Structure 1
């Protein structure tokens, strides 16, 4: 539970943050997709998830441990500079952009203590678990429905626009069955994928890449990029700059070594996109 008395304190930080996770989105799916909205601001790096499934990955992210990229860039590599950090998690002499007060349990409580408005919405069922919902001032579980999520989070940001915000969305369209509307071709992937998802063991000769499923995930990335444009416009409309973090929480296998889905170690499960950029409220003519 957050403490409303914190509203009477003067905020130490005033910049806004938006954290967006594309559930189950592997790096090569993102790279294959047309993503003009986010590409206008930065190129997504290949990063490595902290976990193989939604709950564990978000538990790590909410501790300030984003997917890790082996690049000498601040925020992408927390050993260069961290974006958010709890005081007891200091990496030697490494600096952080936001340091939370002592004793906070996670990022959400940390931002509450800094007098931020915190709001989140999630698609995946793991977010029914109390530990992922705790401390948010406003939270909504929607199931897989990006348009509804964007509409809700925009309303929350607008209603609390006088305060700095930490907003979060977990998009589910990139999770199986990789659909964003009824016009998406296919439903269950190719034969081997259907068999594996029913719990049937595959022999080596049955291994095959689920091209249909992978292409549908690519299409879902493109759909979500358009939703990001609508979401970012909200900050422009209220005249607020925002630092954006977009990442996959983990990836999916589509038949590599006979594996489908996630929840186990495989390079394709661990490789995810990570993009971090500042979105200015006042856009240039080109922006």
Structure 2
């Protein structure tokens, strides 16, 4: 486990939730060599259990420090946590905050906190759509960062870079809710509109991978950076008659997780 008490205050931190990404598809695409950018940093995804079966629930837990848990050891120490009595997942390497969530905790530690929204729970159009973005000092959402735009990941990364350029001297906590894999995703695989399926799900992940070098290279020019990549939940495409998420199925609960440190190349 990383020592987050050494990382917080010295590194930028980037959290990417690959919304709706299933573990089996993520691992298949990596093993088949279809994710050339991510494969520079990870050799395999960790299978973990999501804290929620849909975006809103899972992100509330994640922002409280409850990232997807190790399947064989759900009481494994956590990277970051919010102080409360009775937690068995806090370790000397865990960064514990006194604030209500890790976003506020990182802000108190001197971080500029930035949310680039994706799916509807981040669209800022209603009080509900403001709840999760409202945790951050700055948040952004537009139609071209949402689920209906085939270039959403490119647009999200470009917006993040523009906003971070205004905060060059400050450590950053960047969160991007990557929306491309969430339905609809048929347009990454098929030329005509049709139901999403497991193949378009994988094709959407390949599209996301094709955009990530732009993000990773950007942070190489800032400072050492901790990247945390995970899905918030998976989804079903007809397995045992189930379609979608917000349901108890292994393809919903089992999600991919990875973390790594990228060293800066700046002098």
Question: What TM-score comes out, normalization by structure 2 length?
Answer: 0.84
- C-alpha distance in structure 2 between counterparts of 1:233 and 1:179, whole Å: 29
After TM superposition, the structure 1 = structure 2 runs for residues 67-216 of structure 1, keeping only pairs within 5 Å, are: 67-70=68-71, 79-88=75-84, 90-91=87-88, 94-100=91-97, 102=98, 104-127=99-122, 128=124, 129-142=129-142, 143-144=146-147, 145-179=152-186, 184-189=190-195, 213-216=197-200
1:260 corresponds to: 243
> Is residue 2:221 matched to residue 1:237?
yes
- C-alpha distance in structure 2 between counterparts of 1:50 and 1:113, whole Å: 25
2:5 corresponds to: none
Cα contact 2:12–2:172 (8 A) shared by 1: yes
Tell me the SS of whatever aligns to 2:257: strand
The Cα offsets for residues 10-68 of structure 1, whole Å up to 9 and x where unpaired, read as xx722211000111110111112211212211221111111110100111111110111
Cα contact 1:252–1:268 (8 A) shared by 2: yes
Change (3 A) 1:71 1:153: farther
Question: Where does structure 2 lack aligned partners over 5 or more consecutive residues?
Answer: 1-7
1:52 corresponds to: 53
- C-alpha distance in structure 2 between counterparts of 1:174 and 1:93, whole Å: 32
How far the C-alpha of 1:93 sits from its partner, in A, is 5.9
Tell me the SS of whatever aligns to 1:52: coil
Q: CA RMSD in A?
A: 2.0
Tell me the SS of whatever aligns to 2:69: coil
- C-alpha distance in structure 1 between counterparts of 2:238 and 2:81, whole Å: 37
Question: What TM-score comes out, normalization by structure 1 length?
Answer: 0.78
